[in-house]
Structure 1
């Protein structure tokens, strides 16, 4: 859900999903949020919120923004999932750390990250559980879960 990062518990501001490689976070709103990303050496920010960060904001912080706008409480489309996973893969190939966010960094973010684990070989249910074990509350709606299952079906065909 869209939520100012300041109203989230500290453990939800940023969570490594793949240690030191891929993280999940809430929408960075203030200098504290941006400092969390800087301190973790995040260089690529995959933004699933409908609102993009201003170009000047990301340039000043030496962060590359990949903006894939997805409405709150909905899953990314399969094309958006492909775009997000491609961005993660490209960043990883360049040795860059990635953070994925939406509003609170739970629903849309968790959906994309569960699909990442499906791509690495986990069944959909295990991928969902894997993300939820690291970031409690992730993947908020039945439609978001269904998107992970639909992605898994695409991967298996």
Structure 2
């Protein structure tokens, strides 16, 4: 099994498509619930791998780049969190890597349009076709990320229900695997119906 570069992530396709949490600073521009949740998640990550120290945006970005991930599909809204692009590009430049970053904003706990989902699918497929590794993320790597990953798995030939089961299986070693991904019924319905929309 291929090791995941950061704690709250999982390989959808080993060494090609990774999905998970926001790699940047998760604390700022967040409400109190998000701040508390972030502290809990980071504490769990620390206790799972204490030798790695406290998980920070610098560490997450460096680990993703160290795994050779150059393409980033960001599903967060523009003002939802502090951007990590500057950090990502700076660290990539030090390593001689070129970054391809795309944001397709989806409101937290929500769904997106067919057109926006198609943009996500194109970005993922073009990344794979060009031989680049892609990282798909929202904030926690659950709702929006699970919905996009599910639709991608449907495009890869699974039914919607099979795709949802596959996500659960792929996430079994992620610390927050007890939480559903996608997070709610409307997001799961997008995955279940994606084949009919194609």
TM-score (norm 1): 0.85
Whether 1:23 aligns to 2:18 is: yes
Residue deviations 1:64-95, cap 9 Å, x none?
Answer: 21100100011232211100010001111110
Give, in whole Å, the separation in 1 of the partners of 2:151 and 2:68.
24
| Native 8 Å contact 2:23 2:84 kept in 1 | no
In the alignment, which residue of structure 2 is the partner of 1:149?
192
Q: What is the SS of the residue equivalent to 1:103?
A: coil
> Which ranges of structure 1 fall in alignment gaps of 5 or more residues?
1-9
How far residue 56 of structure 1 moved from its aligned partner, in angstroms, is 2.6
Q: Are residues 1:65 and 2:97 paired? A: no
CA RMSD of aligned residues (A): 1.6
SS at match of 2:141: coil
The TM-score, its normalising length taken from structure 2, stands at: 0.68
Task: Give runs of aligned pairs for residues 5-154 of structure 1, distance below 5 A.
Answer: 11-12=7-8, 14-29=9-24, 30-51=57-78, 53=83, 55-62=85-92, 63-135=99-171, 136=177, 137-154=180-197
* 27-36 vs 50-59, which moves further: 50-59
Deviations 1:91-123, CA, capped at 9 Å, x for gaps: 111100000000101110011011011001110
Contact 2:62 / 2:91 at 8 angstroms: preserved in 1? no
In structure 2, what is the Cα distance between the partners aligned to 1:80 and 1:154? 13
Find the counterpart in structure 2 of residue 4 from structure 1. none
Q: Deviations over 1:47-77 (max 9, x none)?
A: 0011373543332233221100100011232
Which ranges in structure 2 are unaligned for 5 or more consecutive residues? 1-5, 25-56, 93-98, 172-176
Paired residues of 1:76 and 1:111 also in contact (CA < 8 A): no
Which consecutive segments of 4 or more residues in structure 1 shift more than 6 A?
none
